[in-house]
Chains A and B, each alone.
Chain A
Amino acid sequence: MQEFFLEYFIESKYESPVKKANLQLLVIPESNPQTNVLELKFQCSESQELYSSRNIFGFDILNLYIGAPFQEFWFRLTARVQKEEFNPFIVSRLSPEAEYQLIHSLDFKIDQWLFLQPTPLTRLPPEFIGIFPEYSGKNQLFDYLLELNSFINQLLEYSPESTDVNTPIEKILAFRQGVCQDYAHLFTAVCRQNKIPARYVSGYLNQGVTFVGTSQLHAWVEVLVPETGWIGFDSTNNLLADHHYIKIAHGTDFNDCSPIIGILESTGMQKSIHSVTVTNQ
């Protein structure tokens, strides 16, 4: 067992007063068989209480409706999380043929359609399909995914500020630069192109080790490996997600996992700062 302390903080300042706002935060660590959330606290600048609801994938979101004008807003989440250590390399070994057949069966495709359907952020442009390794069923899916993980890791250069959440794959591939979201979108896109169900994941990553992409929320990809379940691949670091990875949510792409969405009635500019702390206790 390993224990982590997490903090997520956001502060926004607005040039002119915001008349009203609806905010939605997706930053609570998920409780799952490997993750025990021991303590969870949140505070914000408003006197109203945050209320929670479930998003379409079943993750807890925090909501806030602010009906009175404001010019500043901050929110802080702190949590203590216990993670079970596990070896992600232990997977069930179906024969490559059986695996391939299962993945290509109609029932499987229908059950997993949500994570097989390319989205605008995870559609691989046809001219780039050829550069990626192809899943042909000759080797095991897990081995293919390991190969793809390191392929994408080597293809892109990690470069903060080079892209934003809306950067299309074409541009990422043209410049071969990106941040964790781009690695994750690209990995997802190649999986979906090969009819392998893949979902985008957002979460916290332990800052105590020399990982890339820890200063903000991290992004990786979960892939459904038949008989084993969803396995996390982090091509930014060329690693598999283990106990250092604390998942918040998954979805079809970044848009389902955005940490904060706001619909504001306001004019003028806004400035926001985010910070994320993850320490191993």
Chain B
Amino acid sequence: MEQPLKGILDSYTKEDSHYDEVFKESGEPKEHYQRIVERFNQYSVADFERINNEVKAAFFNQGITFAVYSEDKKPDERIFPFDLFPRIIPGREWSQLENGVIQRNRAINLFLDDLYHKKKILKDKVVPADLIFSSKNYLKEMVDFTPAGGIYTHISGTDLIKHTDGKYYILEDNLRCPSGVSYVLSNRLALKKSFFDLFTKLQTKTIYQYPEQLLEILKTVKPKNTEVPTIVVVTPGMYNSAYFEHSFLAQKMGIPLVEGRDLFVDRNFVYMKTIHGPTRVDVIYRRVDDEFIDPLCFRKDSMLGVPGLMNAYRAGNVTLANAPGTGVADDKAVYHYVPDIIKYYLNEEPILNNVLTYHCDKEEDCRYVLENIDKLVVKPVDESGGYGITIGTSLTKAEIEEVKVRIKSNPRKYIAQPIMSLSVHATFIEETKEFEPRHIDLRTFCLMGKESAYILKGGLTRVALKKGNLIVNSSQGGGSKDTWVLD
């Protein structure tokens, strides 16, 4: 009998303290990973490196990059690191996850509608009123206004992790123009080129209809009295960290990519300057933050916005996706209440669990957090991209004191969670030329329109490339993996 060749995955060392996505206790690959492990084991390290380099070159040539901001330096342009080993989710596991994400986002949308109208949930004391009124993302400009179709969160990005117990937990909601979907689509394209046969064998669900679905969703929320809506993507410009994505989506949807300065408002309608003269714009997928979209209404120094846009919006002549003021619901302090929000509006049990969260605004919680900083993850409630997060186990004594001072000076701004152990996934590490376990999470993308919802089958699996690191955000040195959902 022929001795099997030594495969590139044979040297993989399991870490027993974390949930391993790929391998069983015995070291055998799980059923849904068998084919890909077999396939990868046919390669030599040299073969694999060659494929890896080809993919990297392709990403670089396509300009799939992002910018990293730091306090003292200029933005740094980087390629988004991509790992060739895909994360695979079995069909049954996915459908539970999908139902959970849709349930959550339906409830959040009803929550926003209530907060900006009757405020019943506050009067019923399910969510503390002060928590909402003290949020800078609760906009008076949205009070008593109903966006087209009653939709606030057209696009939401729900982040999940899998804990040691093998269950998914919601890590956070992203309701203010979440990014990452362009990487999902690019990753798939790259993998399809390199491992075409696997896709047909494994019956992976397709994700390519995302831009088309996004366009359809945006059409469902067109303003009244519009036959065929003109839809545009508004970007802050080419220096924005997600500019690649803005241009990618506009191109895939076949709609114009514009900046605020390409638009103007006259008589409460929005127009785009074109070589044929002004063209009316009906729906705007805006990737500019709330406070910059209209200098007449919000920040007067904003160069990225369109003066008068909010008047046109409130007159019902243009739709903004997402609606302004959705940030009040993805505040990390509100996160804590989302399971209650689901029960309140839908009268259903939440399908997906939240991570236990301590809110420093509550006296008891704050005391617990201050005493146990070394065991907790502390997060500012209003930052995204992993900025400002501290992980207790990796802090020095001096740093712990610093965090304490920060919390005490503004308790409303911080929440804390137990250090969740993110699941690990075999990932090719260039330095060691070996597959090693690395922590991963999952960002899902959910679209909501008038009477329709769509969820991208899979999402962005983010991987912390640094050994032991739990923060997977691209701005913190994370990479990504393609995510395959099986039929």
Please list the residues of chain A having a beta carbon within 8 angstroms of any beta carbon in chain B: 20, 22, 24, 51, 53-56, 61, 63, 65, 67, 106-107, 109-111, 113-114, 117, 252, 261, 263
Chain B CB within 10 A, most for which of A53, A106, A117: A53
Contacts of B123-141 to chain A: CB distance below 8 A = 123, 125, 129, 133, 140-141
Q: Which residues of B contact A67 (CB under 8 A)?
A: 264, 266
Instruction: Pull 17 A–B residue pairs with CB atoms less than 8 Å apart, ordered by A.
Output: A20-B264, A22-B265, A24-B311, A51-B266, A53-B315, A56-B143, A63-B268, A63-B311, A65-B264, A65-B266, A65-B267, A67-B266, A106-B122, A106-B129, A252-B140, A261-B300, A263-B307
B295 at the interface (CB under 8 A from A): yes
- A263 to B315 CA separation, bound complex (whole angstroms): 20
B267/A51 in contact, CB under 8 A: yes
B68 at the interface (CB under 8 A from A): no
- Per-residue CB contact flags for chain B residues 125-169 toward chain A (1 = under 8 Å, else 0) read 100010001000000110100000000000000000000000000
- With A53-B315, A63-B308, A106-B123 already in contact, the answer to whether A113 and B264 are too (CB < 8 A) is no
B252 at the interface (CB under 8 A from A): no
B50 at the interface (CB under 8 A from A): no
Q: Which residues of B contact A63 (CB under 8 A)?
A: 268, 308, 311
Please list the residues of chain B having a beta carbon within 8 angstroms of any beta carbon in chain A: 119, 122-123, 125, 129, 133, 140-141, 143, 264-268, 295-296, 300, 307-308, 311, 314-315
Distance in Å from the Cβ of B171 to the closest Cβ of chain A? 30
- A255 to B300 CA separation, bound complex (whole angstroms): 11
10 more A-B contacts (CB under 8 A) besides A53-B315, A61-B311, A67-B264?
A22-B264, A22-B265, A22-B296, A22-B307, A24-B296, A24-B311, A56-B141, A63-B308, A110-B129, A263-B307
Distance in Å from the Cβ of A59 to the closest Cβ of chain B? 12
B143/A114 in contact, CB under 8 A: yes
Return the chain A residue nearest B125 by Cβ.
Answer: A106
A51/B268 in contact, CB under 8 A: yes
Return the chain B residue nearest A53 by Cβ.
Answer: B311
Q: Which residues of A contact B315 (CB under 8 A)?
A: 53-54
- A51 to B140 CA separation, bound complex (whole angstroms): 23
B296/A261 in contact, CB under 8 A: yes
Residue from A65, A111, A113, A114 in contact with B265 in the complex, judged by beta carbons closer than 8 Å = A65
- A61 to B308 CA separation, bound complex (whole angstroms): 11
Residue from A55, A106, A110, A263 in contact with B300 in the complex, judged by beta carbons closer than 8 Å = A263
The total of Cβ contacts below 8 Å across the A-B interface reads: 58
Q: Which residues of A contact B314 (CB under 8 A)?
A: 53-54, 56
Return the chain A residue nearest B267 by Cβ.
Answer: A51
B119/A110 in contact, CB under 8 A: yes
A113/B129 in contact, CB under 8 A: yes
- With A56-B314, A65-B308 already in contact, the answer to whether A263 and B143 are too (CB < 8 A) is no
Distance in Å from the Cβ of A36 to the closest Cβ of chain B? 26
- A243 to B265 CA separation, bound complex (whole angstroms): 38
- A111 to B295 CA separation, bound complex (whole angstroms): 28
Distance in Å from the Cβ of B60 to the closest Cβ of chain A? 38
Residue from B129, B141, B143, B266 in contact with A109 in the complex, judged by beta carbons closer than 8 Å = B129
- A26 to B315 CA separation, bound complex (whole angstroms): 17
- With A22-B265, A263-B296 already in contact, the answer to whether A110 and B123 are too (CB < 8 A) is yes
Distance in Å from the Cβ of A133 to the closest Cβ of chain B? 25
- A24 to B294 CA separation, bound complex (whole angstroms): 13
Q: Which residues of B contact A20 (CB under 8 A)?
A: 264
- A54 to B311 CA separation, bound complex (whole angstroms): 7
- A99 to B79 CA separation, bound complex (whole angstroms): 63
Residue from A22, A111, A117, A252 in contact with B308 in the complex, judged by beta carbons closer than 8 Å = A22
- A107 to B124 CA separation, bound complex (whole angstroms): 9
Distance in Å from the Cβ of B115 to the closest Cβ of chain A? 10
A110/B307 in contact, CB under 8 A: no
Q: Which residues of A contact B140 (CB under 8 A)?
A: 56, 114, 252
Chain A CB within 10 A, most for which of B129, B267, B268, B315: B267
Residue from B122, B295, B308 in contact with A110 in the complex, judged by beta carbons closer than 8 Å = B122
Return the chain B residue nearest A114 by Cβ.
Answer: B140
Return the chain B residue nearest A20 by Cβ.
Answer: B264
Return the chain A residue nearest B309 by Cβ.
Answer: A22
Q: Which residues of B contact A109 (CB under 8 A)?
A: 129
Q: Which residues of A contact B141 (CB under 8 A)?
A: 56
Complex A-B, nearest 8 residue pairs according to Cβ-Cβ distance, in ascending order? A22-B307, A263-B307, A53-B311, A65-B266, A51-B267, A263-B295, A113-B133, A110-B122
Q: Which residues of B contact A61 (CB under 8 A)?
A: 311
Q: Which residues of B contact A65 (CB under 8 A)?
A: 264-267, 308
Return the chain A residue nearest B311 by Cβ.
Answer: A53
Q: Which residues of A contact B307 (CB under 8 A)?
A: 22, 263
Return the chain B residue nearest A50 by Cβ.
Answer: B267
Return the chain B residue nearest A54 by Cβ.
Answer: B314
Return the chain B residue nearest A24 by Cβ.
Answer: B296
Return the chain A residue nearest B278 by Cβ.
Answer: A67
Q: Which residues of B contact A106 (CB under 8 A)?
A: 122-123, 125, 129
- A55 to B141 CA separation, bound complex (whole angstroms): 9
Q: Which residues of A contact B311 (CB under 8 A)?
A: 24, 53-55, 61, 63
Q: Which residues of A contact B119 (CB under 8 A)?
A: 110-111
- A263 to B274 CA separation, bound complex (whole angstroms): 22
- A14 to B123 CA separation, bound complex (whole angstroms): 51
- A117 to B133 CA separation, bound complex (whole angstroms): 8
- A112 to B296 CA separation, bound complex (whole angstroms): 25
Distance in Å from the Cβ of A206 to the closest Cβ of chain B? 31
Return the chain B residue nearest A22 by Cβ.
Answer: B307
- A261 to B268 CA separation, bound complex (whole angstroms): 16
Q: Which residues of B contact A24 (CB under 8 A)?
A: 296, 308, 311
Distance in Å from the Cβ of B235 to the closest Cβ of chain A? 20
- A54 to B268 CA separation, bound complex (whole angstroms): 10
Q: Which residues of A contact B265 (CB under 8 A)?
A: 22, 65
Residue from B123, B133, B267, B268 in contact with A107 in the complex, judged by beta carbons closer than 8 Å = B123
Q: Which residues of B contact A117 (CB under 8 A)?
A: 133
- A142 to B267 CA separation, bound complex (whole angstroms): 43
- A252 to B295 CA separation, bound complex (whole angstroms): 18
- A53 to B133 CA separation, bound complex (whole angstroms): 27
Return the chain A residue nearest B312 by Cβ.
Answer: A53
Distance in Å from the Cβ of B137 to the closest Cβ of chain A? 14
